[in-house]
A = this chain, B = another copy of it.
Amino acid sequence: MKLLKDKILKDGKVINESILKVDSFLNHQIDGQLMKEIALEFKRRFENENITKVLTIEASGIAIAVMTSMAMDVPMLFAKKKVPSTMDTSIYTTKVFSFTKNIEYDICVAKEFLSPNDKVLVVDDFLANGHAALGLANLVKQSGAELVGIGIVVEKGFQNGRQLIEEQNIKLESLAIIKDLKNNKINLK
């Protein structure tokens, strides 16, 4: 996806060999036009899959997921990182380890919004070690819904997220893949 790749090369900032900062357009300030193009690209890549729901995790996945769900004309659902006081016990939950924050946390969705009739697309802004994406896949599995695939905006190709996802025979589509961030340079595949 050329527009995205150009944006990453132009505005991405290399923090170190494993961290790329894209907060001017993807996960702090958000470029709506880019989100729209990302949504259309996910729609194209998962066409004819009869997706009924787009699932992501708060917070950075939400803008991507809502635009994608609009493009597909289905509802979107975002997993929460804390169980809100207004959520009763009818939830699916799993544990996710965040390497960025070095903590393990619970994620959850209300059972009423995922059913065995659903065909679910998981989307997120980044794929690194795959823990967040696989946590979402686990919630889908618990519900009995079908996981159609995982759509990622920026994949860190030098980490093992793709391997872990493909080992579970889950379709993975990344719109941009970073080969490495060596020598303070963004090297895209």
Contacts and interface: CB of A to CB of B under 8 A. Distances in A.
Interface of A: 15, 19, 21, 23-24, 28-33, 35-36, 58-59, 62-63, 66-67, 69-70, 73-78, 80, 84-87, 100-101, 109-110, 112-113
B28 A75 contact: no
Given A23-B87, A58-B59, A63-B62, A69 B110 contact: no
A124 to B, nearest CB: 14
A50 to B, nearest CB: 17
Contacts of A23: 86-87, 110
A75 B31 contact: yes
A136 to B, nearest CB: 14
B59 A15 contact: no
Q: How many copies does the complex hold?
A: 2
A69 B30 contact: yes
Contact of A78 (B30, B69, B75): B30
A28 B59 contact: no
A32 B78 contact: no
Pick the most buried of A59, A66, A67: most chain B CB atoms within 10 A of its CB.
Answer: A66
A151 to B, nearest CB: 16
Closest 8 interchain pairs by CB?
Answer: A58-B59, A62-B62, A32-B70, A59-B59, A63-B66, A29-B113, A21-B86, A29-B77
Given A58-B59, A85-B101, A86-B15, A28 B66 contact: no
Given A85-B100, A85-B101, A101-B85, A32 B75 contact: yes
